[in-house]
Structures are given as C-alpha cells and as structure tokens.
Structure 1
Amino acid sequence: MKTNTIKKVGVVLRPSTPELKESYFKLEKIFNKHNIEVIIDSISGGMIGVMGMEFEYLCENSDILVTLGGDGTLISTVRRSFRHDVPIFGIYAGSLGFLADINLNELEEFVANLVAGNYRVDERSILEAQFIQNNKEVVLYAFNDIVITRASVSNMIHVETLVDSKAFNTYYGDGVIVATPTGSTAYNLSAGGPVLFPLTNVFALTPICPHSLTQRPVVLPGKFSIEMKTPKDKALLIIDGQDKHELEIGQSIHIKLAKKRVKLIHRDEFNYFDVLKEKLHWGD
C-alpha cells in the first residue's frame, strides 16, 4: 500500500463508551492536520452524537481502519471487516494491549510516520469456520479463537475431531479451543495452551479441563483443515469470546485458516516479545 493512497481513515470506537468523544475529536484533528479525512462508523457516531457511516460502506470507503478502545474492539472490527481486506491498527484507551499498541498521546508522531511511510504491515492468520444453521450454510471468521464447549454446565462434552477427513481425537471434558497464533495468548493460554509467534501459519487445538490427563494441546500446520462434531451432546460455539451459536447433536463444524490474512499496521519498532514480557510479566 502506497502511503499517498491514505486519504480516508475509518474509525470504530469501543461500544458503550461515550466518554471517548473527546478522544475521537483529538484523533480527528491529528489526521486532518495531515490532510487525511476521518469517517466514523454509524454506531460509534451515534454513541458520541456525530454523524457516521454504515460499517460496510465505511470499509468500502476507507484506506485504513483505526479502532479506539482496546484489543476487543480491534478483534471485533477485524472480524467484521475481513472480507474488505482493509489494513487496520488499534489505539488503546486503557492499558497496553497485545494488538492495540499505540496510545492517543503517541498518535501524532505515529500519523506523521504513517504519512512518511515509516511503518510496517504484519499479516496474521484468521480462522474460517463453516456449518449449517436453519438449512443454510454459515461462514464465520475468528481472529483469536473458536471455542466448542458444553451447552449445559452440568454435563461434559464429547468432541470428535478429524484432521483432513481422518480421525484424529475425541476430546472429553469442558470443550476444545481452536486458536490462531494471535489468539494463543488469550483463552488458549489460560487453558494451558502454547504461545505461538503471531506471524506463523499454524493453529492450536487445546482441550478445556479434559477428563483425561493424556489430552494435551496440539499445534497443526495451517494447510490442514479440521472437522469437529458432538455426537452425544448439544454444543455452544463461541467466536472470539464475543459471538455465540448453538450446534445440534451430531452437527459438524469445519475449521481452517482462511486463504487471506489480516493486515495489521504497526510502528517499525514494534516488538512482539517486548509486549509479551510486559503483559505476562516475564523476567519479573
């Protein structure tokens, strides 16, 4: 992407946070200073009393997207905008995130570097899932993870798993996490899964509270596809911890890494290991 093509920036704010109004106007002023037009999505705009644009049109009319909030806001925006292939970066309005790594006080310097071409674009994997709901095929994307878990708190769940159509494992416990490298430091990490370098083309299967201690996390190459089904139980499907769907008994979900990748904009000096050390307190 040539820097001189950045003429319009689409902005998404963290939901239910009207106090971000002042921050939005500060952001708008900084971009306008560099002759970059700022447009806000209609839901965010309605929250702070500013005229906005419907999200799909926002993606079609923006050269890059900017989220203001935290990692959750960025993850949701990535998932919703994925089909449009728009580069994105996050500004954190609280504490440093794994993904939103720029604060508002650093934005002026960052935009100057953006205009000068002093930035980088990292490409990250995203999960694509397909299943049938109400006799229609549903296609979903997950930037962090897809969790298949029990629909009832009182029961454990059987999850039969096939890799490239061949029987692989049957998980018995609270469920299974399918995590991208980006999502490896989220629920996957809490469940004892591995930390994956975010630019690798792999994904992890991590059992949640398995009935057998022999069940362990597995990292698979990104070229594989998996099928998961629950032959004895209904299941709950959770996308990035934000969207939920129900799976009927015996219903299958097919999961793979999408052919396209997510484009995240970072400062040239951004270092993933520095973020890991700060967020996970390594070395303290």
Structure 2
Amino acid sequence: MNLIEMNNSNIKGLLSIGGDGTLLRVVSNVSQRDPPPIMGVNVGSVGFLDESNHRKVFRDIEKILEDKYIIEECSKITPYVVKKNSEEIRLNNGLNEVLIVSSKSSKVLQVSIKVNGVFLNRSYLDGVIISTSTGSTAYNLSAGGAIIFPTLDVMQITPLNAFARSGLKPIIVPHDAVIEIKLLRPRLNAKIIIDGQKIVRNIQPNTKIRIRKAESKARFIRISDDLYSNYFRRLRKKIIGVLKIPPSDSPEE
C-alpha cells in the first residue's frame, strides 16, 4: 500500500522512523482528507515533533496497544498561486510553514502583505514565513517569531530581515484569515518552499500568493494523558532548555 492510500479507516497508526524531516514527508504523503495518526521515532538529532526514540520505542508501542495514549491534532496551511485571470493554483499542504524568498540569494524581495483583503505592510525583505502553530518552533522561531501552543488554530506572519523602517514584526492572525503576499519588485522572481522540502520556483513579479488554513489536520500519537505536560516536556528538553541554578545562588551584597 502506498502512503497516499493510507487513511484513518484502513490504517490504525504509522511509525515514522527518522527525524522531523522524515515525519514531515510522511505527513505530506499520506491521505490529506482523513490522515492516520502518526508516531515519530527519533533516530536523528533534535526530533522535536517525534514522540519516541530508538531506546523506548518498544515500550511506547506496548502503551499504544494498552490505549495509554492521546491524539494531538495539528492544523496545516495551503498556499495558492494566483494567475492573471484570478484562477488559484493549489500547492501542497504545509505542516510547519510556507516560505517565500527571492530566487536570487543576493537580492531582496519587495512585497505587500494583506490579511483578509486589508493592507498590512509593504517592505523590502529577504523573505516571509507563514507558519502554523506547530511550525512556530521551526524556522519561525529562528527568525524571531513566537512559540505557539500547537493546538491553537492560528497562523503567524514572520518577516526575514525586513528593512528597519518598514516596521514589520511577527504578527499572529486567526486561522480563518486569508494571507496574501504580492511580489512587487520588477525582474525578480521568487520561490515558495513548503516545510523545507517542496520547492516551487520562478514565481514571477506581480504574482499574488495566498495562504489559507488547510481542510485537514495532521494527527500525532502522544504517549501521555495530557497535551500540556507532553508539549512542555518536549519544549524544555529539545528547544528552550532549562537553566541550572545553584541552590546557594543569591544576589551579591
């Protein structure tokens, strides 16, 4: 059976063995209408999205068989390229982010940004990240965006090295918003990168790119009875760390 044929009715669950990149590929290639739940098994480096690892995977499988798990549902986003006749070309769903950057690494884009048809900003910048709550701990975080709890239905707009006087900062918008990015700089194409894997090149000047919430969600198996404790445990362990303070630490006199 191919991944695209796997859905929640014919597959009880999937194991994704690798790292976050492997998990993103699995999420992208299974059925998008009714995806099966997935448990990531990390054998890579960070593996923030992964629930298990090679040392405890068999114990975790036993817990799944004993129904000692919960399902975390995470929203995805879908980018559309708008043609001159206003027809929208739908691209692949993204679980983490949709990145819009210049086709030439030495050149900056000029873009205008609208949310639900309302003008937000016009700026020179290296690129724009539109991320999901799940993707807030990925490229978005490195670019100065906020960490968002993964079950919140929102999208985040994060500029990459925006011109200082533009005033554009990361902004969080509701899940039902439509984000529109228009490419303004003449003779400079852009490319769209979805989850760091799917690349659409040669997006021409004056093209509009719209991003909406996807119709389906990704589903992850969590070996826990509480999403909050599960998420913050992974966040402390793999992303933000914990400062070790000596017990005798006190202000200097």
TM-score scaled to structure 1, two decimals? 0.76
| Aligned counterpart, 2:67 | 117
Residue identity matched to 1:195 = I
- 2:198 equivalent to 1:262: no
- Report which structure shows greater RCO (CA 8 Å, sep ≥6): 2
Runs of 4+ with >4 A deviation = 58-61
Unaligned residue ranges in structure 1 (runs of 5+): 1-52
Size of the aligned set, in residue pairs, is 232
- What is the percentage of aligned positions where both structures have the same residue? 31
| Aligned counterpart, 1:281 | 241
Greater percentage in helix: 1
> Quick check: 2:78–2:90 contact (8 Å CA) kept in 1?
no
- 2:177 equivalent to 1:224: yes
| Aligned counterpart, 2:117 | 165
Match of 1:76 among 22, 25, 28: 25
Once the 2 structures are TM-superposed, how far is the Cα of residue 61 of structure 1 from its aligned partner? 4.2
| Aligned counterpart, 2:54 | 104
Distance in 2 separating the partners of 1:111 and 1:74: 17
| Aligned counterpart, 1:26 | none
Any idea what the Cα deviations from partners look like across 1:51-95, whole Å, max 9, x if unmatched? xx4332345842222100011110111122233421111001134
Match of 2:198 among 243, 249, 258: 243
Q: 1:261 to 1:56 in 2, by over 3 A?
A: closer
Distance in 2 separating the partners of 1:55 and 1:271: 27
> Quick check: 1:182–1:196 contact (8 Å CA) kept in 2?
yes
With 109-118 and 119-128 compared, the bigger mean Cα shift is at 109-118
SS in 2 for 1:125: strand
Any idea what the Cα deviations from partners look like across 1:170-219, whole Å, max 9, x if unmatched? 23110111111111111111111111111111111111011125221101
Unaligned residue ranges in structure 2 (runs of 5+): 245-253
Residue identity matched to 2:235 = L
Aligned pairs for 1:26-175 (under 5 A) are 53-59=1-7, 61-81=10-30, 82-132=32-82, 137-175=89-127
Residue identity matched to 1:251 = T
Any idea what the Cα deviations from partners look like across 1:80-135, whole Å, max 9, x if unmatched? 223342111100113452111201232222222212211000111111111258x8
Task: Calculate the aligned-residue CA RMSD, in Å.
Answer: 2.1
